[in-house]
Amino acid sequence: MSDNRKGSFWEIVFNRLKKDRFAVYGGGIVALLFFVALSAPVISPYDPGDVETSRLLEAPSMEHWLGTDELGRDVLSRMIYGSRISLMVGFIAVGLATFIGILVGAVSGYYGRWVDEAAMRFVDVMLTIPSFFLILAVITMLEPSIVNVMIVIGITGWMGVARLVRAEFLSLKERDFVAAARSIGQSDFMIIFRHILPNAMAPVLVSATLGIAGAILTESALSFLGIGVQPPTPSWGSILTEGKNYIEFAWWLSLFPGLAILITVLGYNLLGEALRDALDTRLN
């Protein structure tokens, strides 16, 4: 069967994803997270900042489905609003990392020679530094805030994308369509961003999807350590760190945000792995 009868490349990818149960599970989790985050003001039963001193550390009940915290705030409402933080950090941090990685990888792969050598040696140096400790070092020098967390995760997570884009550019720049673009006098800028880059985006898309899971996990870890999202802004990591002091008798403060982080990261990983298989052109 010819490719024309099968449909376009992205139609083939979409059809493969529909047949992959892991893609369906992962996509369902991601879609649910989007729905919860975007409709938080509507579906949240309480204001996440409301303090009820008469209802401190209440166990899950019909009135407070996931219990209350040490200030009497509704845990479910705080987790719903916390999903917004996870979504924001995941997409903005990974978007920044992807943007930097694409620029570095595209320039390195396209021009080659000393430009490629210098860029890749810098990438190698960055990769020798454990990323989480690098993030910790930078965050401790800045004021802890959601903006700083997103920026730091973004500027410390671009190396993998740069290597992927560089590898794609090294292969694609030798293709006939690039030679044809050069022959009609198109600039390097047009060749890079109009002709080569769109054909190099498949592995970048997979990397970005998996990177969102990593960014959410990193933000949760930073908030748990107290150097991420600062109170009273609710985030899953900050709810966890508040609950560790009461874990012996207020188990819900640790269990539910922990499950939320686990399920969200699992969803993005399942979707990313399924996307990787769907984009593999070697599969029929």
pLDDT in tens, 20-71: 888 899 999 999 999 999 999 999 999 998 888 888 888 999 999 999 998 8
The rounded distance, in Å, linking the Cα atoms of 30 and 23 is 10
Give the whole-number percent of the chain exceeding pLDDT 90: 36
pLDDT of residue 281: 58
Distance between CA 225 and CA 64 in Å, rounded?
Answer: 27
Q: Which pLDDT score, from 0 to 100, does residue 198 have?
A: 87
DSSP character at residue 45: S
Sign of the alpha-carbon dihedral angle for 114, 195, 13, 38: positive
Query: How distant is the alpha carbon of residue 59 from its chain centre?
Result: 32
Q: Transcribe 71-90 into DSSP letters.
A: TS-BHHHHHHHHHHHHHHHH
Contact 204, 275 (CB under 8 A): no
Task: Provide block-wise average pLDDT over 10 residues at a time, the chain (284 residues).
Answer: 53 84 91 94 91 88 90 93 89 93 93 90 87 79 81 89 92 87 87 88 89 89 82 86 85 92 93 85 52
Contact 250, 93 (CB under 8 A): no
Q: What is the pLDDT of residue 241?
A: 85
Domains observed in the chain: 3-49+62-278 (1.10.3720.10)
pLDDT attached to residue 163: 93
Amino acid type, 217: L
**Angle at alpha carbon of residue 111, lines to 121 and 200, rounded to 5°:** 90
In one letter, which amino acid is 277?
Answer: D
- Can you give the pLDDT at residue 1? 37
